[in-house]
Amino acid sequence: MRKVVTIGEILVEIMATEPGDGFNAPIALVGPYPSGAPAIFIDQVARLGHPGGIIGCVGADDFGRLNLDRLRADGVDVSAVRVDAELPTGTAFVRYRSDGGRDFVFNIKHSACGAVRATPQSAALLAEAGHLHVMGSSLFSPALVEATLSALEEIKGRGGTISFDPNIRKEMLGLPGLEAALHAVLERTDLFLPSGQELFLFTSAREEASAVAEILTRARAVVIKRGADGSSYFDRDAAFHAAAFPAKEVDPTGAGDCFAGAFVVGWLNGVAPGEALRRANAAGALAVTRKGPMEGAASAAELDRFLASHG
Ligand code: ADP
C-alpha cells in the first residue's frame, strides 16, 4: 500500500457551544479538540487502516501533546512532527453564526504550526511515501510553502501522486505569495478536490463544466465537494455524482478533510470512482454528526456499518 503523507498545520480548536452573533453575544466554550486540516485528513486515512504520516510542528506544551497522542493512537506516523521548544502549539477558535456561517480566530502565524522545516525525519517519511496530500490552508507561511513545494517535487520525482484540496478560508485571502503557491501546487496535482466555488479560483472559466475541463487538461481527476448536496467525480472519460447521505449536522468543520481522506484511500487502492465517492460521502456525513473537527473521523468498520445501513 502506498503510504500517504501530508504536511501542514496541527493545532487545537476551541469552540463556542452555541451559535452566536457579534462581539457581545454570550459565549460558553468546549474543547480543546485536536485539529488542523491536514491533521484531520491524515487521521481519517489512518483510521481507515491505510498507512499515513504527517510533517508538521507542535509546541512542547499540553496542546502539542493532545495532538500527538491522538494522532499516534489512531495510527498516524508522527515521526516527522517536530516539537519546538520555543513556540506554542497553534490554536483556533470557532463560533457558528445563527445564519449557519462560521467565524474563526486563528493563532497560527506566530505559533509552532507555521515553523515546519525539512528535517532528517521528514526526509525519511517522504522517502517511504507514494502519495502527498496538500491543503491550501497550509500555505500560510514562507517556511510551509517551501517545505510543501520541496516535498511535492520529491514525491513526483519518484513517480508518486499528489492530491490537492484548496481548503481556502476567507481569513487567508490576500496573504502574500498564497496565490502563486496554490497555482504551483495545482500544476503538479493528479487529484484535485475543491469545495463548491473554490474551483473558479483556479480557472478563467465561469461555469463548472468548462472549469473542470480546463483543470483536466493537467490533472487526472477532479472531485467536487458539495456539502449536503454530495459530491461529483470527473476524469477525461467519465463523470459521476453521488448524493449525500442524510445526516444531522452538528459540526461541519472537518467534513471535507474526512471526505478527502476516505476518497484518497479509495483512489489509491483502485476502488471504482463511483464507489469511492459513496464511501467518501459516508465519511463526510459521519464527520458532521459529531462535535469537534477530528472526532468524526470514522474507522473502516464504522464506515462499512454506515454504508450497510444506508443501502
Ligand atoms: P468542505 O468542508 O471541504 O467545504 P463539504 O462541506 O462539501 O467540504 O463536505 C464534504 C463532504 O461531506 C460533502 O461532499 C458530503 O459528502 C459530506 N457532507 C457535508 N455536509 C453534509 C451534510 N450536512 N449532510 C450530509 N453529508 C454532508
- Ligand 1: residue whose CA is nearest its atom 7: 227
At 169, the pLDDT band (50, 70, 90 cuts) reads: confident
Q: 237-279, pLDDT tens digit by residue?
A: 999 999 999 999 888 899 999 999 999 999 999 999 999 999 9
Separation between Cα atoms, residue 43 and residue 37, nearest integer Å: 10
At 27, the pLDDT band (50, 70, 90 cuts) reads: confident
- Ligand 1: residue whose CA is nearest its atom 14: 225
First to last CA, the chain: 28
CB neighbours of 11 closer than 8 A, spacing ≥ 6? 35, 36, 39, 63, 67, 89, 90, 91, 92, 108, 111, 113
266 CA distance to ligand 1 middle (Å): 17
Say what percent of the chain tops pLDDT 70. 100
- From 199, 241, 281, give the residue whose CB has the most ligand 1 atoms within 8 Å, as the site to mutate: 281
Whether 170 has a pLDDT exceeding 80, the answer reads: no
For 112, half-sphere exposure in the C-beta direction (CA atoms, 13 angstrom radius) is 27
The least confident of 2-6, 69-73, 100-104, 136-140 is 100-104
Q: How large is the ipTM?
A: 0.98
Separation between Cα atoms, residue 6 and residue 81, nearest integer Å: 11
Per-domain residue ranges for the chain? 3-7+36-87+116-309
Whether 208 has a pLDDT exceeding 90, the answer reads: yes
Architecture of domain 3-7+36-87+116-309: 3-Layer(aba) Sandwich (3.40)
Separation between Cα atoms, residue 280 and residue 264, nearest integer Å: 9
pLDDT of residue 12: 98
Separation between Cα atoms, residue 310 and residue 307, nearest integer Å: 5
- Ligand 1: residue whose CA is nearest its atom 20: 227
Q: 103-121, pLDDT tens digit by residue?
A: 888 898 889 999 999 999 9
Cell numbers linked to 25:
453575544
